Amino acid sequence: MSGSAETGVGGRADGTATGTAGGAGDVSRGAAPDREALIDVSRGAAPDREAVIDLDAFRHNVRTLAAIARPAETMLAVKADAYGHGMVPLARAALEAGATSLAVLDIPAALVLREAGITAPIFAWMHDPDALFAEAAQADIDLGISAAWQLDAIAAAGASNAPRVHLKVDTGLSRNGATEADWPALVSRAVELDRAGAVRLHAAWSHLADASPGDDATALGRLQRAIEVGEGLGAHFPVRHLAASSAGIRMPEARLDLVRFGIAAYGISPFDDQSARDLGLRPVMTLRARVASTKRVPAGHGISYGLTYRTEAESTLALVPLGYADGIPRIASGRAEVWIGGRRHPIAGRIAMDQFVVDVGEHPVAAGDEVVVFGEGDRGEPTAEEWAGWAETIGDEIVARVGPRVPRVYLGEPGR
């Protein structure tokens, strides 16, 4: 990878930081990141652990997905602090790579992006009765709307700028979105407020359940029928959107005018039968730390809470300063592996809040050695997709749960 490695600050919805400031060195493309360049051993304030975010890999993924979606536009989801990667740096990189708009969960996150100087369209869709509709309107935030009370709240806010609204219909996922019975009233109210200049009716949209191709086809049909109903009530929808990562890749008929790409852009496959590598995508996050200490133990030695693991022979144990408080899933105890010294080793015993133990056998490992929990996989290290299997979950959760004690370090000049 080219460019510099920078320790950055990823914006959260409340404007707090997910990273810490610190120095880092240059990293060349194609080489394994240099441990000394990326982990500043002079910090000394906490055990060395970090999530290395490769912005060049992210840009590659966004370009790849945008090419698949074309002629539909690409909206890039940076919700949940960009799936744990850092919202502001990833938002900038997405726009640099060809995304034309961004998606976040709520208005506070959208306002953080605006405060960071991002002027591209930003879409937010989760609102409670106290949502900051006036602030959103003034900041020109696109709003996902599921109920007439939200439209009324926007009108009551009396902002001088009428926000663009995307009306959501529930096509089977059963989260937010108007039901078939409520849809006509929602559309009628939106048309009324559009004519009054309180909102600008911009889009009709929904979200797929990704249950089966048949279920997704049914959902697409429901959206199309809802649009027809809306048009019969006088609505005009310049934009229609339904597909996210999965349908954006495999369901061309669902791409419509815009695809909301999420986890695929972070280099994690949305499918069980294809990896990110199969899709031509590159994992963006590498989670790693240093061995905090080692010790030799005899055969039969119990490890961690409950002593669920005992050594089969005399062995070396390595302590790693990451635990479930940092997002390491406890359910992966006794299943997961990590990369130390050029090979994989098993996590021994239960993962604790702040640490886990690795049985490295007779392999020479010392305090300070690099531990890769997951990464791109090119050297044989585990990937986030493999961790998802060990934790009986999805790759989205593995990266999004990496906690704030883990600094984010950015490769590839964020915001260049």
What is the predicted pLDDT for the residue at 44? Answer: 53
What is the predicted pLDDT for the residue at 195? Answer: 97
d(CA 178, CA 143): 15
**Residue ranges per domain, the chain?**
5-54+283-411, 55-266
CATH code for the structural domain at 55-266 = 3.20.20.10
One of 79, 168, 266, 324 is an active-site residue; which one? 79
d(CA 100, CA 255): 15
Residue ranges for the chain with pLDDT beneath 70? 1-46, 413-416
Residue 71: cis peptide before it, omega within 30 degrees of 0: yes
Closest listed residue to residue 201, CA positions, set 225, 231, 181, 176: 231
What is the predicted pLDDT for the residue at 211? Answer: 85
Q: What is the pLDDT of residues 9-52, one digit of tens each?
A: 333 333 333 333 333 333 333 333 443 344 444 455 567 999 99
Catalytic residue status for 79:
yes
d(CA 69, CA 76): 12
One of 168, 305, 324, 410 is an active-site residue; which one? 305
Q: How far is CA 402 from CA 23, 32, 111, 325, 397, in A?
A: 21, 22, 23, 8, 9
Q: Which helix (H) or strand (E) holds 107?
A: helix 107-115
What is the predicted pLDDT for the residue at 47? Answer: 75
**Fold of the domain built from segment(s) 5-54+283-411:** Lyase, Ornithine Decarboxylase; Chain A, domain 1 (2.40.37)
d(CA 297, CA 311): 8
186 with 147: CB under 8 angstroms? yes
Q: How far is CA 105 from CA 110, 297, 322, in A?
A: 8, 49, 28
Catalytic residue status for 410:
no
Q: What is the pLDDT of residues 195-225, one digit of tens each?
A: 999 999 999 999 999 889 999 999 999 999 9
Task: For the full predicted model, state whether its pTM sits above 0.75.
Answer: yes
What is the predicted pLDDT for the residue at 364? Answer: 96
